[in-house]
Amino acid sequence: MRKRTAWAGLLGAVMGNTPGLAHDFWIEPADFHLAGPGELRVGLRVGENFQGDAVKRNPEKIRQFVLLGAKGEKPVEGEADADPAGTVRIDLPDLYVIGYRSSDARIELPPGEFSDYLKEEGLERIITLRADRGESDKAGRERYSRCAKALVACGRGAPRGYERKLGFPLELVPMKNPYAMEVGQDIRFQLLHKGEPLLGARVAAVLRGSPEGESGPQIAVTNAEGIVNFTLDRAGVWLIKSVHMVPLEGDSDADWESLWATLTFELPVKPITRK
């Protein structure tokens, strides 16, 4: 709870009117499947266990906020302090990727709270590295940023498009079209760090509204190709997430950099996109 309280204070300062006890960040469009072209409202959320509250648009915190489709990329626009944080027009049936890349933020935690946080996020290798460097009793000074994506289908969609990349420093890429899947099928995701497969990273899959202990979170660790596999056993909105941390050099205010990647989409009861 001490770690979470520290995160709450940080997020309140960084995001604005953001509630406490929260650290996951994701994109939540008004609809994951549009019957046809039209305006799409795009919300940002922060919370835990895939339960969150709105994050208002803060232009100073946006490095990139875009919609990517077959016809290219265009911005998700909006006014400062708006909720939802943006709107964008979808013009053609397709599979679209919405991406949000934040600017950097910083946090400093006491040694014990920092270690608790690292354990919670599956970053034990950083605990080991801090011990090897004689830094276990040192406060954790961290620079972090968000790399959030959402996959949206318009109409019957398209057989491809789900694999489009935005070039984020940490990026989750589905290797199958979830809108063409049956409930209970497996799906693989690739985790890329600076465009290269990331080995040994923990990835979680969480179903919104799932009773505790049922349908998630599922946890997997990336192989040498940066790939994990999950069984999506229920229809609904899914959150795929991962955190990666590295030592940071040349920054007088931080010793570590973390990147937080998320991907949201909706697994339909029946496939809506042709394979």
Whether residue 5 has pLDDT greater than 90 = no
Q: What is the total count of domains within the chain? A: 1
Which tens digit of pLDDT belongs to each residue from 22-79?
489 999 999 999 999 999 999 999 998 898 899 999 999 999 999 999 999 999 999 9
Establish if 37 belongs to a structural domain. Answer: yes
Establish if 175 belongs to a structural domain. Answer: yes
What per-residue confidence (pLDDT) applies to 272? 80
Least confident of 82-91, 107-116, 210-219, 225-234: 210-219
Establish if 114 belongs to a structural domain. Answer: yes
Question: SS3 for the chain, per residue?
Answer: CHHHHHHHHHHHHHHCCCCCCCCEEEEEECCCEECCCEEEEEEEEEEECCEEEECCCCHHHEEEEEEEECCEEEECECCCCCCCCEEEEECCCEEEEEEEEECCEEEEECHHHHHHHHHHCCCHHHHHHHHHCCCCCCCEEEEEEEEEEEEEEECCCCCCCCCCCCCCCEEEEECCCHHHCCCCCEEEEEEEECCEECCCCEEEEEECCCCCCCCCCEEEECCCCCEEEEECCCCEEEEEEEEEEEECCCCCCCCEEEEEEEEEEEECCCCCCCC
Establish if 254 belongs to a structural domain. Answer: yes
Tell me the pLDDT band of 274, cut-offs 50, 70 and 90: low
Establish if 275 belongs to a structural domain. Answer: no
Establish if 117 belongs to a structural domain. Answer: yes
Establish if 141 belongs to a structural domain. Answer: yes
Which tens digit of pLDDT belongs to each residue from 228-251?
999 999 999 999 999 999 999 988
Establish if 273 belongs to a structural domain. Answer: no
What per-residue confidence (pLDDT) applies to 159? 74
**Domain interval for residue 138:** 2-267
What per-residue confidence (pLDDT) applies to 250? 87
